[in-house]
Every structure is written in C-alpha cells, then in structure tokens.
Amino acid sequence: MTIQWFFASENQTAPEDQDYIVRKKQWLQVNCENGIIGQLLTPQPTRQLEFLHSRFPPGTYSKESYSHEGEEAGYVLSGSFELWVGERYFQLNEGDSFSFSSQEPHKYGNPGEEDAVVLWVSTPPTF
C-alpha cells in the first residue's frame, strides 16, 4: 500500500473522471526530503505506474544514493538537473530525458540557481 492510498478520496474526483483523470487542482502534494516537492499525477493508487511532477528548489539534492525494485524515467521541463546512476554522472537541462533501472543506486539534485521541474515516472509506485 502506498502513501497515495491514504489520501485518495472519491469525493475529490468527478464521477466521470474517477480512475482515469486527475485535475490540476486535485494533485496530491508530497513534501520530500530537503525541500523537494512532488505532486502525484496518477489517478488510481492501485496501478503499477506512478507519475509525478517534481520541483527541486536551487541546491536541493536527495540525501544519498538508494536503490529499489522497478524502473524510472523522467523529462526535465525546466532548469538544471544532476543525476547519478551507479558510477555514472549526468548533467541534464530543459528538454533532456532519462531512464534507468531503479535497482541501480541513484541520486539526483538541482545545481542551478532556479527551480528544476521534472516529470517523473516510476514503477512500481513508491508514494
């Protein structure tokens, strides 16, 4: 069971949208470590795919490398974004995308002076 399951409510979604659509005003915000803000875009907590809109304020980083089951992919909407996967380091900018096995140790952050915004997809869901 994910964190999203505890916050999901049928009262928040119009009947015709339920299980298919999440309207912007219904995004569930998750405040992560070090000021990273995630907003869940996935409409149903029982699906195998999770979609996030992530905002990384300047200088925010995940605390340390970690690994878990699944896969991840992302698209940098704006700003600068650093990604470490295993021993590899990547500097990404607006318009760049990435994909990797979550079983490889990974960490990430924003080295820039403005927010980095990343659309992030992972499977299985972690929030």
CB neighbours of 19 closer than 8 A, spacing ≥ 6? 43, 44
pLDDT of 125 = 85
Q: Which domain holds residue 103?
A: 3-123
Rounded to whole angstroms, the Cα distance separating 67 from 60 reads 19
> DSSP secondary-structure letter at 112?
S
Q: Which pTM value belongs to this model?
A: 0.81
pLDDT of 11 = 41
Which runs of E-coded beta strand occur in the chain? 28-31, 37-40, 50-56, 71-78, 80-85, 88-93, 97-101, 106-109, 116-123
Q: Residue-wise pLDDT tens for the chain (127 aa)?
A: 444 444 444 445 677 677 788 888 887 888 877 889 988 888 866 678 899 999 999 999 998 899 999 999 999 999 999 999 999 999 999 999 999 999 999 999 999 999 999 999 999 887 7
Q: What is the CATH number of the domain that holds 104?
A: 2.60.120.10
Number of domains within the chain: 1
pLDDT of 107 = 96
pLDDT of 10 = 43
